[in-house]
Structure 1
Amino acid sequence: MIKKPKVVLSFCMFLFYSYLVVSQNNQIENSRLSKLDSLSVNNVKNDSLLIETIRLAKKIKAYDIAVKHTANLIRYYNYETNTKEKGKTLISNTKTLLQFVKNKDIVSKFYFEVADLYYYLGEFEESIINYDSAFFYANNNVSLKGLSKFGKGIVYVDTGEFGKASIELQEAIAYFKKSKDTLNWINAKNSITILYGKNGFYEDEEQERNELITLANQYKNYPSLPSVYYNAAASANKTSHQKKRINYLLKALHANETSEYKNFFLPVLKLGLAAAYADNDSIAKSEKLIKEIELDSNFFSGYNESFYLDAKMRLAFAKKNYQASKNYGLAYLNKKKQSHAYEEIQEAEHFLSKIYKALGDREKALKHYENFTNLKDSISNVQKLRVLSYYQTLYETEKRDLKIQTQQRDIELLHTKDKLKTQWLWFGGFGLVITFIIIVVLRSRSFAKKQQILQENLTQRIMESQEQERNKVAMELHDSVGQQLMLLTRKANTLPDSSFHELAADTLSSIRAISHNLYPVVLKRLGFSEATQQLINSIDENSDVFFTTEIGFVDDMLSDDEALHLYRILQEVLQNILKHAKAKSVWVEVLKSNNNVMLTIKDNGVGFNFNKALKTNKSLGLKSIQERCKIIHSKLIIESQPNKGTKVKVIL
């Protein structure tokens, strides 16, 4: 009876302690996820980072973050690594989480990336279903609605549903105009251009494409410019302008050098150019490009496989190796039938008829030619052309009406006799321009300031992570490896051969030096002033440089973080002196002055040009010092000239 209260009390204390541990673990994991989320947003091409972020988000049920980065990972597999099947494996498991996602824009973005993936896998029906889902969950997000319509329109273009394609693309353009999304507006105009080409409106296509290229060049670094030139080459091929075809493909490769989708476009463009060279008897050039592609299996597998088969078919035909050309042609036709790409199926049937004719098999040549003509007729049915013609007429009418309105305004302005109104118009226009310039300058400064703050925050997070990792590694070396080496040293003492003991002792000493360098334990135990003196003594003993020090007690003015960053700054400066300065003597001073702590390091070395060093790629140490000074809100002064030594002063 007496023991029961103690048992109950012990049990309650156990529950309370367990709650504290769980709560602390949750806080740690939430903090870690917040950092991973921030890093992942800025590193969407780092699959390891994305996978770890998704894993932790699922673990603590942060479903919005998990789904957001799964969409980014699917995009990475689709566009960057050509491992689309890996992306496909993520879909089913992630769809079960969508019901828990609060931000429906994230759900829309996920469905959009899934739809894109299915499109490039050739699974067009699944692609359309997911584009519709993306549109449904976009709610009031005009940009996402436009992207969903745009993607769906492209699918209809590839499957020969030209009437439906025109409707979806026109709707997409309206959404992009509403959201002022210039980039995707240009993309949609590119697809309309492709639509004209697929239906034989080559003059309209060329006119639209020339306008499009002008817009793209004004945009600067338009990422899809390679595809614009590639589609221009496809139309040039249809109209038998082979020189223009090759010229457009060369322009596409040149534009691709600065495209953010470089890795995605490169194999397609090279294989397209190889096919063009083969068709125009430039066999050596074609073979060279195909050999470059064959160095990497990712370049001729998956989505790229059909382009590879097409180029190989044409090259074999040009070399009069008709049997090999036939095998590649049949494989290409089968691939296109799986994806229901009717225009490419039509072209494959046409080319196979040429191959069988060269082989002397007239029956099969005729069969494939009939397939070609039947398919061409079915694609170009009257109903689809009427829908397309209607939208083309509507588009041309809108452009004409806008032109007439502009001309009428010009005529009214030219005939106006009211000088006062004209003057007010000029003054008002001038005032608006000035106002606009002021707003632009203020916004650009505000944007630059925000970017700088974000960059500084990211740098601080990275430095904090580095210090945490250094601390972790130092503790592991000290507690695990250090303890084992200590035991080994003691054991070596008992051996008759003293060299074993010396080797073990030297190794233990090296491990301790590395551990101390990673995280200065003495800084916590003895404080900043004593740790600084020991650091200088250690360097003094192991170098030819003469050190003079004046180190006052400043520990009571420094927080732990300030002490650590100031110590790291001192380490960095001294390492730079030893590596680069060729100094004979160094003077280090740590003093209090009013409410300031001042660290001064002077040497009599070769000096350097400070501004020039910051601009070179070799200035990471100086940039690290600058960032640490910003973190602890201190002033950094560096005075140096060639052959006149260097003085570094930090005022905290």
Structure 2
Amino acid sequence: MEAPIKEDATKVWLRKNENYTNNRKKYLSIFNNYYDTKIKEENFLDAAKILDVVGTKLSYHYDYDSAFLNTINNFNKKYRHNVPALKTTFVDSYLANYYYDKGDFKKSCNYFKNITLLEPNDYKSCYEIARAYYELSYVYFGMGKQNLSLEANQKSLEYFNKIGDIDGLGSVYSNYANIYKAIGDKKRAIENADKAIKAFKSIDNIYDTYMGLYNKISVYDYVQDSRKTPLIDSTYQAFKASKYESDILKIAIYDFKVENLLRENKLIEAKEILDELKPIVEKVDSDNWMQDYKATLVQYEIKNNPNHSNIEAIKKAIPILKDNEQYEKADLFYSVLKKHAIQNNDFKNALKYEEEKQIIGDSLGNIATRGKIVELETIYQTEKKEQEIALQKTTILNKNTTIALLASLFLGLFLTVVIYITRQKQKKLRLEKQNAQVYTKQLLEKTEEERKRIASDLHDSVSHELLGLKNLFEEKNDITNNKIDSIINDIRIISRNLHPIMFDKIGLKSSIEQLVERAQSVNDFMVTADIDYNNSLSTNDELQVYRIIQEALSNIIKYANAVAAKITVLEKNNIIYIEIKDNGIGFNVSETLNGSNAFGLHNIIERSRVIGGQAKIVSDKNGTIITIEIKKT
């Protein structure tokens, strides 16, 4: 791992989330001063970097400050052209999220598309493009454009797979859950929701784990699964017990909890939660979450007093939602209107709202039967003309049978096409991954051959020449001899680091033991090795294992402030298990891997992948553990 580049104190301060949450006004003031200074210095790259940091933070907190928005727009118009395109994707990302929150999905799409048109050239740019495809997929989903949503999500999956970003893959699985939910594939929707939760849990991402649970509840809600109610209760209790601080999670989870309480007629408890949420929703100041809160509040009012509920605001919002193609939100609002109509025994309007809801459902991609329309139609016609019920039921039943058959045929055809396209893309992705793996392996092998040649030249030529030079001195000069001995020793160390000269003869186990012995003698550092290995790998693969351990040990010595480390190599059945463990200060794995100075860690991950293994890095204040499992071929 390379030594981190020192950033100036102000930039470091602005990166810390607690500085924003503790005093937002001070945070933005310090940002503005720093940014203005960089603009005056015409240091546009640093100005862009700090805009990226602060813009990401504000978007995360749904804080679309008007002054900051003006700063972004001003930078976009006047200075953006001075900075490479891949360094300014934050502009499009911030504006896309801003317009999404304000309900303008079309503008949001256009800004996300700007990012996806770029070609990545490093880890960060690849991440930004993957993220843009993910966000674009989510916007398309809300607009009911499931074919475009599926395409964008697949591209996001490809990019996140390239960089091995577990957090990003979890987000992609969440999108798949939404897409399958919309087209009525309940099984796949729930499977992908579970995959998302599992991915987020594996990297201890608490926020997105709860968002994954929220997404799974939404799937249950949409497909009317009875498991929705207990999942809401268990998620609510777990979130409260965790004492995790997040306004957005509180709004999302508590909103569903209120629905449960209303279903159980626990109006007092529901009102208490709504009152608790009100100042939080106002503080967050997000149009998106405010609409959800208002919808839940109206549902409470309908239960509490159907004749005095504020239903007009919901009615007025629907045309705007439909104009902006916010079909998922419109579906929610029609559900609220239908509940209000049923509560007031207004079955005529209840029928109308259900029909509108079904149209919205089709816009979202859901090809469903019209059972609920039949039910409401029957109740409404009973109030009007009881004598016509039998004839109407027969007519509607025949029509629904035809619709159901056509819908099933269309759904089957659609899913077949989707599955075929998805499998073709997955096949292409696998081939690309295999080709990249072969290329990387060949590159590493060529690198090792060149290292071996240089090491041999240093050892056999330069070192021998120096020994000959030492013997030519007629006068025995201790100072000269000591200096030449020191140079010879340095050359031997360089040669050993380039390539362990005896590696081909003594093998992996003895080479690791020598590496451990040198690390202890040179660095006054305790390292132990527990090796149970039967030489089952090829020499080239063994060399990659040696390089992984060498890189990990070097990182521990340079950065961990550890007093001890242990290396374990265990061969059991068809698995070779490697563990490098230290008792150092640890580090934030996700943050470090996403940074620009994590070459050493990526080197470990890539070398592991080349020899058919998978590296897992876990770190906290008690130390770091790197584990690698290699399947023998």
| Fold shared, TM-score > 0.5 on shorter chain | yes
Match of 1:366 among 325, 348, 351: 351
2:213 alignment partner in structure 1: 229
Q: Is 1:51 the counterpart of 2:51 in the alignment?
A: no
| TM-score using structure 2 length | 0.56
Deviations 1:374-432 (A, max 9, x none): 233344378898666534455568889999xxxxxxxxxxxxxxxxxx96426867876
Give yes or no for the alignment of 1:303 onto 2:284: no
Higher relative contact order (CA 8 A, sep 6+): 2
Shift in alpha-carbon separation, 1:77–1:254, aligned structure 2, 3 A: same
| Deviation at residue 216 of structure 1 after TM alignment | 2.1
Deviations 1:146-174 (A, max 9, x none): 11211111110111100000000001110
- Displacement of 1:437: 4.1
Q: 1:131 to 1:306 in 2, by over 3 A?
A: same
Q: Which amino acid aligns with 1:112?
A: S
Match of 1:318 among 289, 303, 320: 303
How many angstroms apart in 2 are the aligned matches of 1:148 and 1:335?
26
Residue 131 (1) aligns with residue 115 (2): no
Give the aligned partner of residue 274 of structure 1.
258
Matched residue, 1:37:
11
**1 CA distance for matches of 2:57 and 2:334?**
34
Whole-Å separation in 2 of the counterparts to 1:373 and 1:151:
26
1:212 and 2:196 correspond: yes
For the 8 Å contact 2:62–2:285, the answer to whether it is kept is no
Amino acid at match of 1:439: E
Distance 1:192 1:135 in 2: 19
Q: Distance in 2 between matches of 1:284 and 1:440?
A: 58
Counterpart-to-counterpart distance in 1, 2:184 and 2:423: 17
2:186 aligned residue (176, 193, 202) = 202
Conserved in 2, the CA contact under 8 Å of 1:82 and 1:302? no
Give 1:299 shift.
4.9
In structure 2, give the amino acid aligned to 1:262. S
User: Secondary structure at the residue paired with 1:145?
Assistant: helix
Q: Which amino acid aligns with 1:295?
A: P
Deviates more, 1:123-132 or 1:359-368: 359-368
Deviation readout 1:296-353 (Å, 9 max, x if unpaired): 4225753321111111122122224344053454255356446422133123224313
The structure-2 alpha-carbon separation of the partners of 1:254 and 1:120, relative to structure 1 and needing over 3 Å to count, comes to farther
2:58 to 77, 82, 98: 77
Cα pair distance change 1:216/1:301, threshold 3 Å:
closer
The DSSP-based 3-state class of the residue aligned with 2:536 is: helix
Amino acid corresponding to residue 356 of structure 1 in structure 2: A
Mapped to 2, the partners of 1:181 and 1:230 lie a distance apart of 22
TM-score (norm 1): 0.55
1:178 is paired with a residue whose SS is: helix
Alpha-carbon distance between aligned partners in 1 of 2:188 and 2:38, rounded to the nearest angstrom: 51
In structure 2, which of residues 82, 89, 99 is the aligned counterpart of residue 101 of structure 1? 82
CA separation in 1, counterparts of 2:362 and 2:217? 24
Give CA deviations for 1:529-579 in whole Å, capped at 9, x if unaligned: xxxxxxxxxxxxxxxxxxxxxxxxxxxxxxxxxxxxxxxxxxxxxxxxxxx
Q: Displacement, 1:293?
A: 1.0
Write the mapping of 1:237-386 to structure 2, written as runs, cut at 5 A: 237-242=221-226, 244-248=228-232, 250-251=234-235, 254=238, 262-296=246-280, 297-299=282-284, 302-324=287-309, 326-327=311-312, 329-330=314-315, 333=318, 336-337=321-322, 339-380=324-365
The yes-or-no answer on 1:425 pairing with 2:536 is yes
Aligned CA distance change for structure 1 residues 184 and 357 (closer, same or farther; 3 Å): same
Separation in 1, partners of 2:317, 2:150: 28
Cα deviation for residue 63 of structure 1 reads 1.8
Would you say the 8 A contact 1:54–1:69 is kept in 2? yes
1:62 aligns with 2:62: no
Q: Any conservation in 1 of the 2:112–2:136 contact (CA below 8 Å)?
A: yes
What SS class does the counterpart of residue 390 from structure 1 fall into? helix
Equivalent residue letter for 1:440:
A
For residue 569 of structure 1, what is the aligned residue in structure 2?
none
Shift of 1:184: 0.7
**8 Å Cα contact 2:258-2:296 kept in structure 1:** yes
- Which digits, 9 at most, give the CA deviation of each residue in 1:466-503, with x for residues without a partner? xxxxxxxxxxxxxxxxxxxxxxxxxxxxxxxxxxxxxx
Find the aligned partners of 1:112 and 1:259 in 2 and give their Cα distance.
Answer: 31
> In the alignment, is the contact (CA less than 8 A) between 1:300 and 1:308 conserved in 2?
no
> What SS is found at the alignment partner of 2:194?
helix
Amino acid at match of 2:297: K
Any residues of structure 2 matched to 1:211-610 within 5 Å, and which? 211-242=195-226, 244-248=228-232, 250-251=234-235, 254=238, 262-296=246-280, 297-299=282-284, 302-324=287-309, 326-327=311-312, 329-330=314-315, 333=318, 336-337=321-322, 339-380=324-365, 389-393=416-420, 395=422, 424-425=535-536, 436-448=548-560
Map 1:106-185 → 2, pairs under 5 A: 106-137=87-118, 139-140=120-121, 141-185=125-169
Distance apart, 1:280 and its partner CA: 3.5
Amino acid at match of 2:161: K
Superposed CA RMSD in Å reads 4.0
Q: 2:322 and 2:240 mapped to 1: Cα distance?
A: 29
Equivalent-residue separation in structure 1 for 2:183 and 2:245 (angstroms): 28
CA separation in 2, counterparts of 1:134 and 1:102? 15
Q: Residues 35 and 335 (structure 1 numbering): CA distance in 2 closer, same or farther, change over 3 Å?
A: same
1: CA distance between counterparts of 2:203 and 2:307?
Answer: 46
Q: Note closer, same or farther for the CA distance 1:159–1:441 as it changes in structure 2 (3 Å cut).
A: farther
Maintained 8 Å contact 1:143/1:176: yes
Residues 1:186 and 1:454: Cα distance change in structure 2 (over 3 Å):
closer
Amino acid at match of 2:72: I
2:56/2:90 contact within 8 Å kept: no
Amino acid at match of 1:37: K
Aligned length: 406
Unmatched segments (≥5 aa) in structure 2: 1-6, 21-26, 368-406, 431-532, 563-583, 589-620, 622-633
Q: What amino acid is aligned across from residue 110 of structure 2 in structure 1?
A: I
Q: In 2, distance between residues paired with 1:194 and 1:259?
A: 28
Pairing partner for 1:187 from 156, 163, 171: 171
Change (3 A) 1:385 1:59: farther
Distance 1:362 1:212, change over 3 A: closer
Distance 1:377 1:307, change over 3 A: closer
Work out the CA distance in 2 between the residues paired with 1:251 and 1:379.
27
Query: Is the Cα–Cα contact under 8 Å of residues 171 and 196 in structure 2 kept in the other structure?
Result: no
Question: Would you say the 8 A contact 2:141–2:149 is kept in 1?
Answer: yes
Check whether the contact 1:246–1:273 (CA below 8 A) recurs between aligned residues: no
Greater displacement, 231-240 / 427-436: 427-436
Shift of 1:177: 0.8
Q: 1:193 to 1:321 in 2, by over 3 A?
A: same
Partner of 1:474: none
CA separation in 2, counterparts of 1:99 and 1:213? 38
What's the CA shift string for 1:353-384, capped at 9, x where partnerless? 33223324444333222212223334437889
Match of 1:294, SS? helix
Q: 1:399 to 1:69 in 2, by over 3 A?
A: closer
Asked whether the 8 Å contact 2:101–2:288 carries over to 1, the reply is: yes
AA aligned to 1:52 is N
Contact 1:225 1:256 in 2 (8 A): no
Relative to structure 1, the CA distance from residue 115 to residue 98 in structure 2 (aligned partners, 3 Å threshold; closer, same or farther) is farther
Contact kept? 1:283, 1:315, Cα under 8 Å: yes
